[in-house]
């Protein structure tokens, strides 16, 4: 009977192996790709606010923002996939770590790059728009923090599950070719599902940059706890159920 203990694959890593020049190149790719993604996604929201004089989001506005995020993530993942694995999201990195597909030290390096990429994107947007307000993620009327927490868990689970199925699974075959597109599509679909309720971040870095630049941390924990739990569950479930390669060495995630 095969051994299905995923925990065997989790690795801390070492400075000697995880802080090589290639690791910093991968972190730089994560920084740039996250910047590209957040600039497009957050920029679409700010553009909508300018065109409508900060009117409430309409159905057409929600579709436009969802498409901008889907296209932005598609490009961000595609352009960094061969260098860093194209995470662009701390929840994806966390799910990959729990599945044994990236070391803890490399994951921390990615997290720093992703948070910096989001922050710089928001600062650039604020300057380029002549100091317009950078939109933070907020809860809609009648939606509690716990409602939003569940939304973020479920939606990020779907996102990271898609990453595993199309990009990480060694049996992915030709599906890997469309991985960036599938990842962008599932993000856009979930923004359509949850955007009207709580903004649908699915990504702690996406929420962190606007919160830091605007210095508004109200309900910010939701956009960290929900995605990390959802992403972690997806990583463990997919690795445990569908991959189960516990006797192989822990690789650096590349696809």
How far is the CA of 211 from the CAs of 123, 167, 191, 221, in angstroms? Answer: 11, 30, 19, 11
- Predicted confidence at residue 145, as pLDDT, reads 97
CATH class of 19-242: mainly alpha
Which residue blocks in the chain are alpha helix, DSSP H?
15-18, 21-51, 59-84, 90-98, 104-128, 145-163, 179-198, 204-214, 222-238
What does the DSSP 8-state code read for residue 8?
G
Q: Which residues of 80-91 are buried (b: 16+ CB within 10 A; e: fewer)?
A: bbebbbbbbbbb
Quote the tokens at residue 173.
Answer: 């075959």
- Predicted confidence at residue 245, as pLDDT, reads 60
At residue 42, φ and ψ (nearest 5 deg) are -65, -35
- Predicted confidence at residue 108, as pLDDT, reads 96
Question: How far is the C-alpha of 49 from the C-alpha of 55, rounded, in Å?
Answer: 7
What are the per-10-residue average pLDDT scores of the chain (255 residues)? 52 80 96 98 95 89 96 97 96 96 95 98 97 94 97 98 96 90 98 97 98 97 98 96 64 46
């Amino acid at each position: 009977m095969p051994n299905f203990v995923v925990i065997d694959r989790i690795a801390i890593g070492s400075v000697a192996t995880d802080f090589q020049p290639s690791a910093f190149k991968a972190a730089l790719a994560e920084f740039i790709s996250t910047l590209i993604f957040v600039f497009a996604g957050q920029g679409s929201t700010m553009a909508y606010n300018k065109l409508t004089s900060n009117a409430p989001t309409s159905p057409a506005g929600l579709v436009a923002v969802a498409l901008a995020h889907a296209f932005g993530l598609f490009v961000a993942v595609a352009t960094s996939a061969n260098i860093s694995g194209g995470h662009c999201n701390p929840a994806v990195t966390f799910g990959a770590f729990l599945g044994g597909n990236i070391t803890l030290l490399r994951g921390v390096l990615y997290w720093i790059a992703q948070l910096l990429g989001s922050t710089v994107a928001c600062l650039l947007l604020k300057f380029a728009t002549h100091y317009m307000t950078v939109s933070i993620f907020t809860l809609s009327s009648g939606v509690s923090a716990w409602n939003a927490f569940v939304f973020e868990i479920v939606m990020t689970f779907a996102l990271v599950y898609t990453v595993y199925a199309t990009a990480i699974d060694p049996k992915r075959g030709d599906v890997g070719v469309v991985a960036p597109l599938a990842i962008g599509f599932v993000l856009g679909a979930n923004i359509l599902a949850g955007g009207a309720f709580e903004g649908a971040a699915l990504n702690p870095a996406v929420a962190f940059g606007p919160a830091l630049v605007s210095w508004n941390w109200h309900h910010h924990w939701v956009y960290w706890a929900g995605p990390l739990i959802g992403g972690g569950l997806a990583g463990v479930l997919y690795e445990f159920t569908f991959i189960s390669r516990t006797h192989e060495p822990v690789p650096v995630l590349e696809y």
